[in-house]
Structure 1
Amino acid sequence: MARQAASMKKTRTRYSQDYKAEALALADRVGISAAARELGLQPSQLYQWRTKAQQRQSASEREQTLADENARLKRQLAEKSEELEIGKKSRGVLCQEPEVKYAFIHQHRQAFSIQRMCAVLGIARSGYYVWRQRGGEPPPRRRQQTVLDQRVAQAYQRRKGRSGAPRLALDLVDEGLAVNRKTVAASLRRQGLRAKAARKFKATTNSRHSLPVAPNLLEQDFTAMAPNQKWVGDITYLATGEGWLYLAVLIDLYSRKVIGWAMSERMTAGLVGDALQMALWRRKMPQGVIVHSDRGSQYCSTLYQSLLTRYDLECSMSAKGNCYDNACAESFFHSLKVEAIHGERFETRDAMRRQVFEYIEMDYNRQRRHSAIGMISPEAFEARMIA
């Protein structure tokens, strides 16, 4: 046991180049410390990755990166300049009641954007418009309602419009506001806010091949009593202005955490192999895990099957044409597309990569409440069970 524990201590988490590239892109936007905190890494890791990436980067690529960053900073500077000017003029009302803030907005509506003033003052635009319609004197009940709408709108925006009344109600209760699902639902209706809606699922992988297939070891039992007992994987496609971007994931059924992912312009066996390799690195190379997927040719390929054999993993596959046999992976793709993709336009594959990376590593794994694990996030669930 002591020798096994020592061996486990020496095993270090390894990260794919895709993961490092997206982590560095996040660090460029929010800073090393913030990115390390969001991703659960050490700042020193990000500094080391950045140094190696810069060494590989050519002079022309560095110049283009600097030019792009300069343009982005100029846009941000223009926005921040207006916010700073608003902040200077509104210093005396920042801690006042919402009605005082509404009066300030009304007074300065010709000089500044109403939307930006509301953002700086931390209030909902809907509250301001209601106040203006009532001549600046709302009744006490409506005043309470406006304050509630403000809190609900802030919670809605923090969740990027991805959560409905049940999850937002739990968020607000955690913040100390005693509300229930029906109250939050009514507030959302008043403000015209809706969680992003679903679209019909479409199959991705091709099961029409002559390669050997594995038996279904899960048989739609998606429960697991501990980490690394059952993993499920699948592939989906994402549309960009440059063409398709394919995403492969692996999910641990114990916590519903996405433990491995990979993206590519082509849907190959290497794509699912890269996702599996990431999962193995992040989970410290476990053995005996049931790894379930559909019967797509990528999962039946010699490359993917050799990885399963090399690392002593058990292969499981869905019945032909039965998407319910892999419902957990389909559910994740549904959440990803509804909450982060639909309604947005991605001109480049790199833009889509950033969106998917942030959704998986920052939103889904670390923040999104999951109904199958008690309405908490996968990482919170694993931390609670380990503690």
Structure 2
Amino acid sequence: MSKLTKKDKIEIYERRKNGETISSLAKAFNTRESNIKYLIALIEKHGYDILRNGKNRIYSKEFKLQTINRILINNESINSVAIDIGLASNGILHNWLSKFKENEYNVVEKKKGRKPKSMTKLKRNNKVLSEKDKIKLLEDEIIYLKAENGILKKIESSSSRKGAKREEKVRVIAELRAKYPFKMLLKIAGISRSVYYYYIDKKDIDEKNKDIIEKIKEIYYVNKGRYGYRRVTLELKNQGLNINHKKVQRLMKKFNLQSIVRKKRKYSSYKGQIGKIADNHIKRNFEATAPNQKWFTDVTEFNLRGEKLYLSPILDAYGRYIVSYDISHSANLEQINHMLNLAFKENENYENLIFHSDQGWQYQHYSYQKKLKEKKITQSMSRKGNSLDNGLMECFFGLLKSEMFYDQEEKYKTLEELKEAIEDYIYYYNNKRIKEKLKGLTPASYRSQSLLVS
């Protein structure tokens, strides 16, 4: 397979625009059809400027990690990410991912060429500096200030003490060494070369934790960054590893494994009015001692660049299990009826069940009330304008959107892709996502455990 020049790539694109088929272009240039398709998409996204001449581009360790996280955590495809960041081929990204996993979920940066030269003082020799020398002097001063700022920021963010220890300074220098001259960093930190190498050559205290670290990273990436140290600790326990939560927290912090942070809602103390259709039988008592004692429902909207989807689930207070749900392009009565039919298909006894909702028009409709009465279910409604009366649903919607939708809208190209992602998440939530309050069990396992006992 021949290597394509920049001229070849432009010719391929032009010929494709003129109607020539992918297969004929692949034969003409002795390359795979997939390469032709990738090239066309790349040029359409970035234009001819993306076609490089000469040396390969060099990507930083931070950039590679951000890119890898888009695939492992945000679930974007390798091809789309490679095109978006302008890689010459998606094989480069495949290689990054392979090495990342081989090196126990670490990005290993290959250093090329000579080490960066340290900042040197210009010899003035009592002569007036030329414009070129002045520019060089200013550039060196800027690099020095940036390096100084970088060291101070990292030390301040990781140390609450007034004076950082030598080990901390050495760690920061090691992190910044590829970015700034080594001698410059030593001077700013006030560390000698011998002291630096003394601490660098000391054995990593976490060398003995190699297997645990690998397992923590595996749990973190499998769950797409949704687990904090507490949930990771529980999952380790489920897998037979009793590790102290403080140790897990320290290791996750060391390897920058940060969980998705949910945005908190402002508390509302508005009392509202009692609903005319049904009283509030829940009264913010969201706990249950067995399945099918208290159910909650509501509808939430997903707005994807002006197009909308509506999710209507039923949540059981016991274990916070999603009993059934429906996803629709409009919030209508058909959606509610379908959700109820799915929930009632087991033909269980619902006589003592309280079913809570807000005062939405769907829940005031005659057909909805009739279905509940037929099953001898007690209908309950929140007070008017008081979302906290239906707090379990508010909590679930907040969790769902923060973990798979907010700040991730760009990865969903169509409503169908978003719908599949919601369905995948609900399955993950019920069957894979462990909860601390459930003693490390998933909602489905917790529910099944209770049903087996009964």
TM > 0.5 fold call: yes
Instruction: Give the root-mean-square deviation of aligned CA atoms.
Output: 3.5
| Residues 319 and 325 in structure 1, CA contact (< 8 A), matched pair in contact too | yes
Counterpart in the other structure of 2:301: 237
Aligned-residue offset at 1:282: 4.2
Counterpart in the other structure of 1:364: 429
Give yes or no for the alignment of 1:334 onto 2:315: no
Q: Which amino acid aligns with 1:218?
A: I
Aligned-residue offset at 1:307: 2.0
Give yes or no for the alignment of 1:290 onto 2:354: yes
**1:219-234 matches, cutoff 5 A:** 219-234=283-298
**1:110-189 matches, cutoff 5 A:** 113-119=95-101, 121=102, 123-126=104-107, 139-144=203-208, 147-189=211-253
Q: Which amino acid aligns with 2:364?
A: C
Aligned-residue offset at 1:114: 3.0
What is the distance in 1 between the residues matched to 2:326 and 2:266? Answer: 20
Counterpart in the other structure of 1:42: none
What is the distance in 2 between the residues matched to 1:198 and 1:266? Answer: 27
Alignment deviations for residues 231-275 of structure 1 (CA, whole Å, 9 cap, x no partner): 111111112246111101111112211001011111122222222
What is the distance in 1 between the residues matched to 2:284 and 2:94? Answer: 56
Alignment deviations for residues 330-351 of structure 1 (CA, whole Å, 9 cap, x no partner): 1111211122222322222111
| Residues 270 and 304 in structure 1, CA contact (< 8 A), matched pair in contact too | no
The DSSP-based 3-state class of the residue aligned with 1:315 is strand
What is the distance in 2 between the residues matched to 1:214 and 1:336? Answer: 28
| Residues 309 and 328 in structure 2, CA contact (< 8 A), matched pair in contact too | yes
Counterpart in the other structure of 1:192: 256
The DSSP-based 3-state class of the residue aligned with 1:177 is coil
Q: Which moved more, 1:253-262 or 1:321-330?
A: 321-330
- In the alignment, structure 2 segments of 5+ residues that lack a partner are 1-33, 39-90, 111-170, 178-196
What is the distance in 2 between the residues matched to 1:294 and 1:200? Answer: 21
Counterpart in the other structure of 2:191: none
* 1:118 to 1:324, Cα distance in 2 relative to 1, 3 A: same
What is the distance in 2 between the residues matched to 1:354 and 1:202? Answer: 30
TM-score by length of 2: 0.54
Q: Which amino acid aligns with 2:106?
A: R
* 1:344 to 1:301, Cα distance in 2 relative to 1, 3 A: same
Q: Larger relative contact order (C-alpha < 8 A, sep ≥ 6)? A: 1
| Residues 400 and 425 in structure 2, CA contact (< 8 A), matched pair in contact too | yes
Q: Which amino acid aligns with 2:278?
A: A
What is the distance in 1 between the residues matched to 2:301 and 2:333? Answer: 15
The DSSP-based 3-state class of the residue aligned with 2:371 is helix
| Residues 218 and 292 in structure 1, CA contact (< 8 A), matched pair in contact too | yes
Equivalent residues, number: 276
Aligned-residue offset at 1:168: 0.2
Q: Which moved more, 1:328-337 or 1:298-307?
A: 298-307
Alignment deviations for residues 188-242 of structure 1 (CA, whole Å, 9 cap, x no partner): 2222221112135599xxxx99x94210111111222222121111111112246
Deviating beyond 6 angstroms after TM superposition, the runs of 4 or more aligned structure 1 residues are 109-112, 127-134
* 1:233 to 1:369, Cα distance in 2 relative to 1, 3 A: same
What is the distance in 2 between the residues matched to 1:283 and 1:218? Answer: 24
The DSSP-based 3-state class of the residue aligned with 1:260 is strand
What is the distance in 2 between the residues matched to 1:354 and 1:232? Answer: 23
- In the alignment, structure 1 segments of 5+ residues that lack a partner are 1-73, 79-108
The DSSP-based 3-state class of the residue aligned with 1:113 is helix
* 1:330 to 1:171, Cα distance in 2 relative to 1, 3 A: same
Counterpart in the other structure of 1:91: none
What is the distance in 2 between the residues matched to 1:276 and 1:202? Answer: 31
Counterpart in the other structure of 1:9: none
The DSSP-based 3-state class of the residue aligned with 1:376 is coil
The DSSP-based 3-state class of the residue aligned with 1:373 is coil
What is the distance in 2 between the residues matched to 1:247 and 1:201? Answer: 20
Q: Which amino acid aligns with 2:431?
A: R
Give yes or no for the alignment of 1:321 onto 2:302: no
Q: 1:353 aligns with which of 410, 413, 419?
A: 419
Counterpart in the other structure of 1:382: 447
Give yes or no for the alignment of 1:281 onto 2:263: no
What is the distance in 1 between the residues matched to 2:93 and 2:403? Answer: 35
**1:32-47 matches, cutoff 5 A:** none
Counterpart in the other structure of 1:259: 323
Percent identity between matched residues is 25
Give yes or no for the alignment of 1:250 onto 2:231: no
The DSSP-based 3-state class of the residue aligned with 1:299 is helix
What is the distance in 2 between the residues matched to 1:181 and 1:283? Answer: 43
Give yes or no for the alignment of 1:373 onto 2:438: yes
Bigger radius of gyration among the two: 2
What is the distance in 1 between the residues matched to 2:242 and 2:288? Answer: 34
* 1:271 to 1:182, Cα distance in 2 relative to 1, 3 A: same
What is the distance in 2 between the residues matched to 1:274 and 1:292? Answer: 17
The DSSP-based 3-state class of the residue aligned with 1:237 is strand
Counterpart in the other structure of 1:13: none
Counterpart in the other structure of 2:157: none
